[in-house]
A and B are shown apart, each in its own frame.
Chain A
């Protein structure tokens, strides 16, 4: 049953800068959760550190504001222990692709059934605008003393290469489209990654709202998001339909090629989707037959304060 987005709002004062792209993302998350009608107390938002880290406090579900770079580790632990939770992890691009890059790659390999949204703005906002992993080499945002000396990471490409089974990109000022992407991501069976282009009005004076809107381009007639176009409008099919090598490779390759598009044409939408790879929880079920009915969080471990686990067979084998 669809709920109202307002039910997913808290009354915590939001201290993001006026015009911050984060507002669009938090609104889209609330709208998506409402539209899906998820139960608030079966849902948890896990967040990293930075401006985006505060997201969990603004959403009226369970909220776990974790550590810089480590959000995926906390979130995966919770999901594996209690697979009936709907879990959305969020964090900045510095959080997920800088300090947390190792966890990002490992999470892809694991494919735990949950969603990870990266607020991608090219800068470390809360520490006053240093270059973050997605800022391009040689670019100088306004508080950098000199142009960026590092090459940028390609979040979509890295996600695809790491084994994420749903890889998409959204734009924080196209909230409806983003909301739809979030719904698809949450419904996906496996680990879904959503790279959200999110202008930082305070520190990123290059990839601004106007820049995404293409106001600097020479053409006369400009549409509202003229740099940005939607993959689905081009007939792009992201989905792996059958698990043959040729099919999988073709979808992976096209996603990688699309991920390299930047500059005057920036694709958003679903780049890659593969539900033929088993989620981690399913892999656990293959080893532990009653994992879904009796996961770690639901197991009874005691009766009247006494252990109910019977380890006598193991002890028998050790007895001399």
Chain B
């Protein structure tokens, strides 16, 4: 039997329920046993601009999106104009037949550069600049069109269930479109109704209306639209599967590993994590004494960082969560945490920079900035997770590293992960170990916070414990923490702190520094969320008998240069894949491994890589047809 690999895309104006539509679809597919990988794209806008969700569904393990859309569900004109050409031959498009006459000038949210490209494409196919024109091209490609008047559908439904309120309830279009999609692919309707019930469990009245609409639309589709090339009828469910949003990994990781203080300033795409933590601020403990996370919304990121440090000085596991612009504001205090050896975790959900950049779009832009963040030399750790599941366990490790090595730690995440919805194995908090390093519960006399020790790490007191008095200062200090400008002491203190970098490399297990997925003649190095598209692209090539190696570097600072070098000694061609302009990992690699990158595969459109385009570029590299810098551009 052929395996299932299906991509469903729903689009619409922001605020029209695209996200909840996608959540219903994802939940139904996950409940029916499929693996789900969905990602959301949206403008920096509250209402009106185009947003879309592409949900890939498979009975195999998947880690990314692909270029081709199998079935597109649209209820506005813009979605058709922007995405009709992504639907693959044999696929389908559900669209609102009342939109037939709309031309591109009627859609004011179509921006000029896109419109220009669209027009020249339609022109090249001799089509008018209308929905009809676009859909004719689709039809000629062998795509099945599913016209439906959403207005009429609602009118009929409203009569049938005798509920005049439903008439003209545009907010229901999303549910209608989802249900129609599921009808077309023959997904059993009970799973649809069940998912709606669950998603709206706190609003039974809304659940009821949605169920009526879903049922009606589903039946309409099964009665009217038969014979689609693809079916999603369910598959063997993997036990212990959860359907999570991207930010759930670090949020749940923080809860599980004992982070009890998180100040933050609102910023996309990071705030979701803090809001989730606050929504779950009271924690259940196995010792039956409830715990809690104090989540504090601050006046800016500088304050968030100051509070994080202040709380860490009390011995509390503390973190903040931000994105590039916010992290930029935090860097002065990052150095303070560095010189005072304060363990804190900064979760950075990166987005496209520089400056405000593409505020709601993806980018792995902050690697070098993180490595070099702050003025002066001080030890820190930069660590990156490759997907949601990893990020849960990594979060636990990150707090251990910060406390054991007494350094600030930057945990790099990104927008691709943050706004993805995926199935993965249920997180196991029993796998999270907690190591607080040299944190003291009680202190003997003559305590000195920055005492010179053999391993360069001093016992750490905390504010408020008996005999534990210490001083901190952003100035250079002596062992007690009082200011010094003595040149000899200065050297000793700098050496003490900076020796931490080697110590970190020696003490973090290699398996947590770097993950090798095999070394081949052609081997990829990468970091962070590029992992998913890379793994899927490698799988695609493997089916053609081509083996590509892959080394995922998770510990980015201090950089495990020697280890990476030895790992790659048999690799002939090194390919760096990442989502930024300059190949930032490549630069770190060159500096630390003293070896050139042979090819770069880079993407900086602000959209996540698909495995299709990584595959295409890898293929070109193997066939010796690639540019030194392969630049990926897929995605609206």
Chain A positions near chain B (C-beta within 8 angstroms):
10, 12, 40-42, 44, 46, 49, 54, 56-57, 60-67, 70, 72-82, 84-85, 102-103, 105-106, 284, 287-291, 294-297, 299-303, 305-315, 318-320
Contacts of B316 in A (CB 8 A): 81-82, 296-297, 299
Contacts of B242 in A (CB 8 A): 315, 318-320
- The CA of A206 and the CA of B310, in the complex, are separated in Å by 37
Q: Which 10 A-B pairs rank lowest in CB-CB distance, beginning with the nearest?
A: A73-B306, A77-B310, A301-B258, A77-B307, A106-B299, A81-B311, A302-B434, A65-B473, A296-B260, A297-B314
Contacts A78-B310, A320-B30 given: A307-B258 contact, CB under 8 Å? yes
Enumerate chain B residues within 8 angstroms of A73, measured Cβ to Cβ: 298, 302-307, 310
Complex formed: what's the CA distance from A291 to B281 in Å? 11
The yes or no answer to B407 lying at the interface (CB within 8 A) is no
- Given contacts A44-B463, A73-B302, A318-B242, is CB(A308)–CB(B287) below 8 Å? yes
User: Interface stretch among B70-78, B289-297, B582-590?
Assistant: B289-297
Report the Cα distance A31→B309, complex, angstroms.
29
Q: Is the CB of A57 within 8 A of B471?
A: yes
User: Counting CB contacts under 8 A, is B603 at the interface?
Assistant: no
Decide if B463 touches A78 in the complex (CB within 8 Å). Answer: yes
Q: A75-B310, A303-B286, A311-B255 are in contact. Are A297 and B299 (CB under 8 A)?
A: no
Check A309/B429 contact, CB under 8 A, given A57-B482, A78-B311.
yes
Tell whether, in the assembled complex, residue A300 and residue B289 are in contact, meaning their CB atoms are under 8 Å apart.
yes
Flag if A61 contacts B31 (CB, 8 Å).
no
B 236-253 binary contact with A (CB < 8 Å = 1; else 0): 010011111000100010
Please, which residue of chain A has its CB at the minimum distance from the CB of B259? A301
Contacts A49-B474, A80-B294 given: A320-B258 contact, CB under 8 Å? Answer: no
Is B481 an interface residue, CB under 8 A from the partner? yes
The residue on B at minimum CB distance from A46 is B310
Query: For residue A305, which residues in chain B have a CB less than 8 angstroms away from its CB?
Result: 433-435
Instruction: Give CA–CA (A300, B292) in the complex, Å.
Output: 11
A44 / chain B contacts, CB cutoff of 8 Å: 463-464
Q: Binary interface profile of B, 260-293, with partner A (CB < 8 Å = 1, else 0)?
A: 1101000000000000000011111111011111
State the Cβ distance, B504 to closest chain A Cβ, in Å.
20
A48 to B304, CA, bound (A): 16
Find out whether the CB atom of B434 lies under 8 angstroms from the CB atom of A307: yes
Find chain A residues with CB under 8 A from B244 CB.
318
Q: Tell me if A67 and B333 are in contact (CB < 8 A).
A: yes
B469 touches A309 (CB 8 A): no
Docked CA distance A303–B287 (Å): 9
Residue among A41, A63, A105 making CB contact with B464, cutoff 8 Å:
A41
A78-B463, A301-B257 known; A320 and B31 CB under 8 Å? yes
> What residues of B have a CB within 8 angstroms of the CB of A80 in the complex?
261, 294, 296, 307, 311
In contact, A308 and B310 (Cβ under 8 angstroms): no
A77-B309, A297-B464 known; A308 vs B240 contact (CB < 8 Å) = no
Which chain A residue shows the least CB distance to B34?
A320
Q: Is B159's beta carbon under 8 Å from chain A?
A: no
Q: Any chain A CB within 8 A of the CB of B546?
A: no
Cα–Cα distance between A75 and B258 once the two chains are bound (Å): 22
- Knowing A44-B463, A313-B284, A320-B241 touch, does A296 contact B336 (C-beta < 8 A)? no
Residues of A with C-beta under 8 A to B243:
318, 320
The distance in angstroms between the C-alpha atoms of A306 and B427, with both chains bound, is 15
Known: A77-B307, A297-B314, A307-B256. A65 touches B474 (CB 8 A): yes
Taking a contact as CB atoms under 8 Å apart, the answer to whether A40 and B282 are in contact is no
Complex: how many Å from CA A291 to CA B295?
13
Q: How far is the CB of A75 from chain B (nearest CB, A)?
A: 6
- B116 part of interface (Cβ distance < 8 Å): no
B122 at the interface (CB under 8 A from A): no
Does B616 touch A at the CB level, under 8 Å? no
| Contact between A310 and B469, CB atoms less than 8 A apart | no
B287 to chain A, nearest CB (A): 6
Give 1 or 0 for each of B219-242: 1 = CB within 8 Å of chain A CB.
Answer: 000000000000000000100111
Q: Check A302/B469 contact, CB under 8 A, given A44-B463, A77-B309, A320-B241.
A: no
9 contacts between A and B (CB under 8 A): A41-B469, A54-B483, A76-B306, A77-B309, A103-B302, A300-B291, A307-B432, A319-B242, A320-B31
In the assembled complex, the CB of A161 is this many whole angstroms from the nearest CB of chain B, namely 15
A79 to B263, CA, bound (A): 13
B435 to chain A: closest residue by CB = A305
Q: Which of B311, B467, B474 has the most CB of A within 10 A?
A: B311
Q: How far is the CA of A10 from the CA of B283 in the complex (A)?
A: 41
Closest A residue by C-beta to B466: A41
Please indicate the chain B residues that have their CB under 8 angstroms from the CB of A306 in the complex: 430, 432-434
Q: What residues of A have a CB within 8 angstroms of the CB of B284 in the complex?
A: 309-311, 313
User: A231 to nearest B CB, angstroms?
Assistant: 31
The reply on B458 being an interface residue by CB < 8 A is no
How far, in angstroms, from A75 to B309 measured CA to CA in the complex?
Answer: 9
* B311 contacts A77, C-beta separation under 8 Å: yes
Verify A67–B300 contact, CB threshold 8 A.
no
For B471, the chain A residues whose CB sits under 8 A away are 56-57, 62-65
Contact yes or no, A70 B302, CB < 8 A: yes
